[in-house]
Structure 1
Amino acid sequence: MTDGEVVEDFYGVYLLLCTNPKYRGRTYIGFTVDPNRRIKQHNRGVRAGGAHRTSNRGPWEMVLIIHGFPNDISALRFEWAWQHPERSRRLREVGKKKARELRYDFCLRILANMLRTRPWARLPLTVRWLQQQYIKEFPAGLEPPIHMPVAYGPVKPARVKATPSHGSEEIECLEICSICGETVKKTDVMRCLASSCALACHIICLAKYMLKDEGTGMLLPVEGPCPACGINLLWGDVVRLKRGCYQCQDETQEDHWADFLSQVT
């Protein structure tokens, strides 16, 4: 898992599967900002930073990871609900593990329901299978929402670049927001997926614009029209573009999601 797609602002919740014949079929759900380092820790034991539940029970395979969370708090809440569906008020209808149901299949069934349950159903998440031999289809009617792509293969977080020193390098290029008319920093700008579109706007302005026909009470849109060219955009695709999942970026991306949520609530 050392090579793979580079993702900015990586927060992931993963599923481990034990391949040790003595403990075969056991699973473990956890949170990480570096999946390649984390799987090594699990297989090396507690002294290397692994969890007590996985120590001396390996080898373990990291088979699936959900990433694209706005911050670590959001990912940790998702992790807790996935680990404790019986205690989560949002997952009460999922039901308990069936008598002949494999633990691995039960974990996937919980996940399938979570991805279609608010608040997680509106997040720009990516479902990524890391090990081909363990891929399974989601139950009919419980497929991930259209704005959540299913990806395959390894992934690694982008390295954080050093903050530039004081001086001319600190001067940021400003653009004009296409919606509110105020200036927006180049590192903060949201753009359209169409390469010919000149859209440049604040994340909050774009979210409010796309939410204008969805009524009140929503914090994040799922999809909506581009204010500049009018094409329909999936919110998750726009966010992934900004975070560098579709193109290289020169500047270090900061996590603006916590600020966004605090301003629209």
Structure 2
Amino acid sequence: MEARPIPAFYCCYLLRSTAYPSSIYVGSTPNPVRRLGQHNGHSKGGAVRTSRKTLRPWEMTCVVTGFPSKIAALQFEWAWHNPHITRRIPNEQRITKPVLKTRKSRKTGRTREGLVRPRMSLTDKINNLHLLLRVPSFSRWPLQVRFFCVDAYQAWRLWNERVNGSIRGGINISLDLKQLKAVDNDGEFDMSTRAKGKRKREALGKGGIEGLDVGYSELKGHVQKGVLFLAKDEALECAVCAKDLGSKTAMTLLCPQEDCRTASHMSCLAAKFIEDEGAGAAVTPISGRCPGCREELQWIDLIKELSLRVRGAREVARMMKKLRVPVTKNAAASHHEAPTAVQEDATNPNKDLDYMRAPDDSDDSLPEDWHCQDDNDDDMMSVMSGHSAQSDGIEAASSPKRFPSPPKLPAVIEDSDWDDAELLD
């Protein structure tokens, strides 16, 4: 089985029916916007419990993020959905008790007693969420909670004031309201791929579920620094034990600060963080200060970058490469009138990546009407690739070929959303 890096994003969410607010639903997903559209019937998928048209539309009241793996998110989801029987909650701390109910068999007519799940309100779910963040099984996980509804956030604050047990300080609880104007979700599916991508980028960081970053963009600078730093032919020592790091490609943690050159063995840095924290019985640290620059570092950020660098070859290559796309005749004419080409000089932040190009990708062999394309715009990549293929055919038929043909890149189709995880609902 192929080892995968830590997912860029995975969350547990709490839905509420806007038509019948007493109807709620707990689930997990790597893409909240897409998943909410499935629950509301905008695309295929969703769950049977949310498929009734009388309950739609559903709204996402809050999400719990920061899970170190997909399995961890599913474990938390099950405990949140079954707080009356989960072993994660001690019996003496349990808020929701199982209900003993007598049932009669239609075939035999016999009656028997059994435990059933009690009916829970939104407040009950939030109270149990507060409890799960305090129990030993989840208290040291790097979790964050975002609320998208004011009443749900107020219910959280009221319960937080009532209970005696406090939540660990590193767990961030926030009210993340949408800052953009309301957009008709039905109209989104009539938009072009390019328009969808542009709107997603504009919504990032501006509140609501549309503002959540579900990709690896936050790790891009850290990963690029790690690849370039470890590619240098020089001996490196662990900043904790002062021994040689050995193989640079595995189990080496790097400080994400741009000017810091600190590198450490994973086991050495983990032991130091736990020692500094004073949590002797802990297995995994939460955070600590860099031995070099003394900046506060989150352990999950270091591990996520390591797993992406070691296991995510495709994602790393996508972050590191420079894509060049041939422009059309009209664009080339305007390009010669008003040059906007990126110069490969000291002002170009990507000049250090030249050593990763293929030998036939040098600037001298490229025609003048080529320009650099930003790798972050996946939707633009697909649009320009198809357009360039059509324009090449037109030029070949109408005029002689003046420039060498660019090398054809193999088409790669990936599903970074992990649709198989959605079948577990």
* Common topology (TM > 0.5): yes
Q: 1:87, CA displacement in angstroms?
A: 1.0
Q: 1:105, CA displacement in angstroms?
A: 0.7
1:150 to 173, 177, 181: 173
Equivalent residue for 2:387?
none
Partner Cα distance (1:159, 1:36) in 2: 17
Partner Cα distance (1:135, 1:81) in 2: 21
Q: Provide closer, same or farther for how the CA distance between residues 131 and 156 of structure 1 changes in structure 2, counting only shifts above 3 A.
A: farther
Instruction: Provide Cα deviations, 1:97-135, integer angstroms capped at 9, x if missing partner.
Output: 7xxx97111111101111111221111111112344542
Q: What secondary structure does 2:291 align onto?
A: coil
Q: Provide closer, same or farther for how the CA distance between residues 81 and 125 of structure 1 changes in structure 2, counting only shifts above 3 A.
A: same
Q: What secondary structure does 2:51 align onto?
A: coil
Larger mean CA deviation between 129-138 and 148-157 belongs to 129-138
Equivalent residue for 1:260?
none
1:110 to 86, 108, 128: 128
Q: 1:217, CA displacement in angstroms?
A: 3.9
Q: Provide closer, same or farther for how the CA distance between residues 54 and 119 of structure 1 changes in structure 2, counting only shifts above 3 A.
A: same
Q: Provide closer, same or farther for how the CA distance between residues 25 and 132 of structure 1 changes in structure 2, counting only shifts above 3 A.
A: same
Equivalent residue for 1:166?
none
Say whether the 8 Å CA contact 1:184–1:201 is kept in structure 2: no
Equivalent residue for 2:282?
218
Equivalent residue for 1:68?
66
Q: What secondary structure does 2:253 align onto?
A: coil
Larger mean CA deviation between 86-95 and 107-116 belongs to 86-95
Larger mean CA deviation between 70-79 and 36-45 belongs to 36-45
Q: Provide closer, same or farther for how the CA distance between residues 15 and 195 of structure 1 changes in structure 2, counting only shifts above 3 A.
A: same
Equivalent residue for 2:37?
40
Instruction: Provide Cα deviations, 1:14-69, integer angstroms capped at 9, x if missing partner.
Output: 1111111xx32221110101111000111118x82111111112211011111111
Amino acid at match of 2:21: R
Q: 1:232, CA displacement in angstroms?
A: 5.4
Larger mean CA deviation between 147-156 and 59-68 belongs to 147-156
Q: What secondary structure does 1:9 align onto?
A: coil
Partner Cα distance (1:241, 1:129) in 2: 27
1:129 to 147, 155, 160: 147
Say whether the 8 Å CA contact 1:189–1:200 is kept in structure 2: yes
Q: 1:185, CA displacement in angstroms?
A: 4.0
Q: Provide closer, same or farther for how the CA distance between residues 217 and 142 of structure 1 changes in structure 2, counting only shifts above 3 A.
A: closer
Q: Provide closer, same or farther for how the CA distance between residues 234 and 119 of structure 1 changes in structure 2, counting only shifts above 3 A.
A: same
Q: Provide closer, same or farther for how the CA distance between residues 107 and 220 of structure 1 changes in structure 2, counting only shifts above 3 A.
A: same
1:27 to 24, 27, 37: 24
Q: Provide closer, same or farther for how the CA distance between residues 181 and 130 of structure 1 changes in structure 2, counting only shifts above 3 A.
A: farther
Q: 1:207, CA displacement in angstroms?
A: 1.6
Partner Cα distance (1:24, 1:230) in 2: 48
Instruction: Provide Cα deviations, 1:48-98, integer angstroms capped at 9, x if missing partner.
Output: 21111111122110111111111110000000000001111232313227x
Partner Cα distance (1:227, 1:135) in 2: 38
Amino acid at match of 1:94: R
Q: Provide closer, same or farther for how the CA distance between residues 71 and 139 of structure 1 changes in structure 2, counting only shifts above 3 A.
A: same
Q: Which segments of 5 or more consecutive residues in structure 2 lack a partner in the other structure?
A: 1-6, 98-118, 177-206, 218-226, 309-314, 320-425
Say whether the 8 Å CA contact 1:15–1:28 is kept in structure 2: yes
Equivalent residue for 2:375?
none
Q: Provide closer, same or farther for how the CA distance between residues 131 and 215 of structure 1 changes in structure 2, counting only shifts above 3 A.
A: closer
Q: What secondary structure does 1:13 align onto?
A: strand
Q: 1:243, CA displacement in angstroms?
A: 9.6
Equivalent residue for 1:95?
95
Q: Which segments of 5 or more consecutive residues in structure 1 lack a partner in the other structure?
A: 1-7, 161-170, 245-249, 254-265
Q: How many residues are aligned here?
A: 225
Q: Between the two structures, name the one with larger relative contact order (CA 8 Å, sep ≥ 6).
A: 1
Matched, 1:201 2:264: yes
Q: Please, what TM-score do these two structures have when normalized by structure 1?
A: 0.70
Amino acid at match of 1:95: I
Q: Please, what TM-score do these two structures have when normalized by structure 2?
A: 0.46
More helix by percentage: 2
Partner Cα distance (1:145, 1:241) in 2: 24
Q: What secondary structure does 1:53 align onto?
A: helix
Amino acid at match of 1:174: L
Amino acid at match of 1:212: E
Say whether the 8 Å CA contact 1:191–1:199 is kept in structure 2: yes
Percent identical: 30
Q: Provide closer, same or farther for how the CA distance between residues 188 and 127 of structure 1 changes in structure 2, counting only shifts above 3 A.
A: farther
Say whether the 8 Å CA contact 2:12–2:26 is kept in structure 1: yes
Please say which structure displays the higher CA radius of gyration.
2
